[in-house]
Amino acid sequence: MEGNREYQKVIDYLCEEIREGRIRQGDRLPTERVISEQLQISRNSTREALRSMDYMGIIESVQGSGNYYTGNVSKRLSEMLRIFLRIKLVTQEEICDFRRMMEKAICSSVIENPEMNLQAIEGLLGQGDTGKREEDAAEHDRRFHYLLAEASGNHLWMELMDAVSDVYREWIDEILSRSDEQTRQELHRAHLEIFRALKEKDRAACEAAIDAHYDLVAIAQNT
């Protein structure tokens, strides 16, 4: 029990340092010795807590250099999803369905956000139709969906979208590489329709546009 309390003390201490801005993203953390002495706990408990935070993606351990605060939780989530796929705990179809439903929830969150800011999305769409080359279309699609999550102002949505998109990206890139220019243009028009519905705060139209987008992906995937 004592070891568990010491383990938790390290996590609480580092979370407080991060929350108060004394440790910022990219900063090197205090050494195991410094943390142990400051909290008056064992080095083993400190090491165990740091390993746990490294596994969760909150920090990154660099051999010979130390531990750094990254906050890259989405990387660990995407790794877990890949493992789930390998052991057939989830399927590709289930991940695609989850992403569709998540997108609808994100858009609802954007509409409900009193500080809704769609300027970044508008700027991306203002670049015009990027569907002429599949590599441009893939990057445009990735950026559009991430900006949707960002517009919600909800960091959990951002982390989840980043994680799911990291896995989903491999499939959409392959699909876009096989698709013709017309399909890529239709996906771009779906983006425009999602944006228009968000601006008008039309939830039903937004969900219909999301369904149209993912239906296009599903059709292209099966061709």
Q: Tell me the average pLDDT of the chain.
A: 86
Classify residue 90 by its DSSP letter: S
CA 33 from centre of chain = 34
CA triplet 173, 179, 184: central angle to 5 degrees? Answer: 85
- Spatial distance between the Cα atoms of 142 and 135, rounded to a whole number of angstroms: 11
pLDDT for the residue numbered 219: 75
- Please check the confidence at residue 192 and state whether its pLDDT lies above 90: yes
pLDDT for the residue numbered 196: 96
- Spatial distance between the Cα atoms of 72 and 26, rounded to a whole number of angstroms: 11
Tell the residue number behind the tokens 């698709």, with chain if given: 179
Confidence of residue 160 (pLDDT cuts 50, 70, 90): confident
Q: Is residue 223 within 8 Å of 177, Cβ to Cβ?
A: no
Closest CA to 193 of 174, 202, 203, 206: 206
CA 124 from centre of chain = 19
Tell me the pLDDT tens digit for each residue of 99-141: 999 999 999 999 998 888 899 999 998 876 555 555 677 788 8
Residues in the chain: 223
Tell me the pLDDT tens digit for each residue of 18-46: 989 899 988 999 999 999 999 999 999 99
Q: Tell me the whole-structure pTM to 2 decimals.
A: 0.74
Confidence of residue 96 (pLDDT cuts 50, 70, 90): confident
- Please check the confidence at residue 2 and state whether its pLDDT lies above 60: no
Q: Is residue 146 within 8 Å of 162, Cβ to Cβ?
A: yes
Task: Quickly count: other Cβ atoms within 10 Å of residue 33's Cβ.
Answer: 10
Classify residue 31 by its DSSP letter: P
- Spatial distance between the Cα atoms of 148 and 132, rounded to a whole number of angstroms: 23
Task: Quickly count: other Cβ atoms within 10 Å of residue 119's Cβ.
Answer: 9
pLDDT for the residue numbered 87: 93
Which residue stretches of 43-118 are H helix?
43-56, 73-86, 92-112
